[in-house]
Amino acid sequence: MFKGIPAEIAGIGIFIPEKILSNADLEKIVDTSDEWITTRTGIKERRIAPDDMATSDMMKRAADIAIERSGINPDDIQLVIGCTATPDMPFPSTACLVQHKLGLQNAAAFDLQAGCSGFLYGLTIASQFIASGAVKAVLVLGGETLSRIQNWEDRSTCVLFGDGAGAAVIAPAKEGSGILNFSISADGAFADALKVPAGGSLMPATEETVKNHMHAVHMDGRDVFRQAVTKMPEAALKALEELGMTVEDIDHFIPHQANIRIIESVGKRLGIPEEKTIVNLQKYGNTSCASLPIALCEAVESGRIKKGDTILLTAIGAGLAWGSIILKW
C-alpha cells in the first residue's frame, strides 16, 4: 500500500526504431504465417533496432523527451533505474551508461531485472524513493533490444518480440495526481517457463551454448499464458481493494502487451470493457520492459488519456514477476 509523499509521472517519452519487421517478412524467415501470428497473438508487425544502437541508446533517446516534458532540472534527478532484460552487457548496468550519456552527475544508477514487469517494478521503486523524501526525482527507463536475443529458427518465440524504449521522470505529485497504489509479486517456481539459459554463472558461454541457441529466449508459452491470465487480475484486484476502489473507477486499462488473447482474458476476468483497454501490440509485438511506457505515452500523446484520468497498469514476465499500479494522470 502506498504511504508517504505521493509520486507522479512528471514526464514520459519513448523511442521507437523505424525498421518494421512484418508477419509477411517473418514468413520468409521461419515456418509461420500471418494468419497464425495474428489469430494466436494479435501481432501484425514489430520494430527492429538499427545495428549501431544498443538498449542504452534507445533509452537515452526516450529519456531526452521525458526529461524535457517533465520540466524538471536534470540536476535534480538523483536516481536512474534501468529496467531491461537486454542490457548492453552483463555489467556495468545499462542505467550507468544512460546516466553518463545524459550527463546526470547527481544521480545514482542501477539496473533491475523483473522480466517484462521491469518498468512496473521500476515505477514502484521510484515512487518509494519519492515517498520517503530521499530524492527529488527519479528517471525510470524501460528499454529492450529483444531482436538480439532471438533464435530466428524458433517460430514459437521469434515472432513475438520487438525493440523499443520508454522513460519516465518520477517526482513529488502535484495536487490530485500520482501513483495511488501498487502490488508486486514473484514466484521463482516458474523460473524455467521463460528464460535465457546461458551466459550467466550457471551456464557460461561456450561454442556449444552458442551453437545450441542457449543465449536466446526459451519459453513455455502455454505455462506463461496460464499464469498471466490469473496473476495479472489478482494483482489488479489487490491494488484496487486496498484503495477501496473497484474496476468501475478505472478509466484506462493498460496491460503488458504480450498477446491479445491474454489481454482479452484479463479484461474479461476483471470486468473491464474493451473500450477502456489500451492495445498497441499489433504494431510493436512484445517489447517487454518498454511495453507499458510505450502504450502509456502513445495514449497520452493522442489525447486518449486526459488529466485526472485513473489508469490501471498490469504486467507479468520472467521470474515469474508480476504486478499492478493504479495512478491518477
Contacting positions for ligand UT7 (CB under 6 A)? 32, 36-37, 40-41, 116, 155-156, 159, 221-222, 224-225, 228, 258-259, 262, 286, 316-317
Phi and psi torsions of 209, nearest 5°? -65, -35
Half-sphere exposure of 130 (CA within 13 A, CB side): 29
Which member of 83, 213, 256, 297 is catalytic? 256
CB atoms within 10 A of CB 193: 19
E strands, 16-113, are 19-22, 45-48, 77-83, 108-112
Closest to ligand UT7 by CB, 110 vs 225, is 225
- Which string of b and e fits 74-107 if b means at least 16 CB within 10 Å? beebbbbbbbbbbbbeeeebbbbbbbbebebeeb
Please, what is the minimum distance in Å from the beta carbon of residue 248 to ligand UT7? 27
Greatest Cα-to-Cα distance within the chain, rounded to the nearest angstrom: 57
Closest to ligand UT7 by CB, 10 vs 123, is 123
Residue whose CB is nearest to ligand UT7 in the complex, by number:
221
CB-CB contact of 250 with 233 (8 Å): no
Please, what is the minimum distance in Å from the beta carbon of residue 189 to ligand UT7? 16
- Which string of b and e fits 49-67 if b means at least 16 CB within 10 Å? beeebbbbbbbbbbbebbb
Which member of 116, 158, 289, 297 is catalytic? 116
Give catalytic status of residue 280 as yes or no.
no
Closest to ligand UT7 by CB, 158 vs 214, is 158
Give catalytic status of residue 181 as yes or no.
no
Closest to ligand UT7 by CB, 16 vs 193, is 193
Please, what is the minimum distance in Å from the beta carbon of residue 158 to ligand UT7? 8
- Please report which helix (H) or strand (E) contains residue 156, including its range: helix 155-158
Closest to ligand UT7 by CB, 116 vs 170, is 116
Tell me how far apart the alpha carbons of residues 90 and 240 are, in angstroms, rounded to a whole number: 37
Give catalytic status of residue 256 as yes or no.
yes
Please, what is the minimum distance in Å from the beta carbon of residue 86 to ligand UT7? 13
Which member of 23, 181, 259, 286 is catalytic? 286
E strands, 187-300, are 194-195, 218-219, 252-255
Active site residues: 116, 256, 286
